[in-house]
Amino acid sequence: MKKSLFVFPIILLLFTGGLFAQQMNLDTVLEDSAWIVEEAVPAGITVAILNFDSSSEALSEYVLTELAAKLYAGQLVTVIERQTILPVAREMNLNLSGDVSDQSAQAVGQRVGAQSVVSGSLTDMGSFHRARIRIIHTANMGIQAQIFLDLDNEQIASLMADF
């Protein structure tokens, strides 16, 4: 997919600045995040979805699974299975259920053959939760995209209660 140099900065502006006031539901955040990943990296690249840090391990696993599924469905990138990533992370004494440094993300990504890694977090901001997704190039640790999206507290509380 050929990207216009003019369109991509506008997309990043929308997702990093224009949506702060709008609180979204988790499914929309995941769909938008998958779309941004596909736009931020070249078509056909191999991506490892490493971690999603939240106060609920079950919610984090849900986010990782759903994001991977949405990327699989888009068929623009190759997603490395989580079962491939976990043994490498364990071997490196890295816990993927918490926050992962860029250096650790790069090392795991390189070891599993990914050109880019995706990691994220969910932070309670008081009146809403903020989801942060980062896409990092494994060769040079450059940030390919960073997405901040705000979620409704009621939905997050409900999801955490369900898990």
What one-character DSSP code corresponds to residue 45?
-
Residue 29 has pLDDT above 80, yes or no: yes
Segment 38-66 shows an average pLDDT of 89
Using CA atoms, how far apart are residues 22 and 28, in angstroms rounded to an integer?
12
Sheet of 23-24, strands arranged across: 23-24, 143-152, 128-137, 116-124, 46-53, 78-80
Mean pLDDT of 134-161: 84
> What integer pLDDT is reported at residue 92 of this predicted model?
82
pLDDT in tens, 93-102: 776 666 677 7
Residue 121 has pLDDT above 70, yes or no: yes
CA dist 118 and 44 (Å) reads 15
* Nearest-angstrom CA–CA distance, 146 and 86: 24
- List pLDDT tens digits, range 33-44: 899 889 988 999
Q: Is 126 left (phi over 0), alpha (psi -120 to 50) or beta?
A: left
Structure confidence at residue 7 (pLDDT): 44
Structure token pair of residue 10? 């506008």
Tell me the whole-structure pTM to 2 decimals. Answer: 0.77
List of domains in the chain: 7-162 (3.40.50.10610)
| Of residues 132, 136, 153, the one with CA closest to residue 145 | 136
**pLDDT, average across residues 70-96:** 85
In angstroms, the CA 52 to CA 147 distance is 13
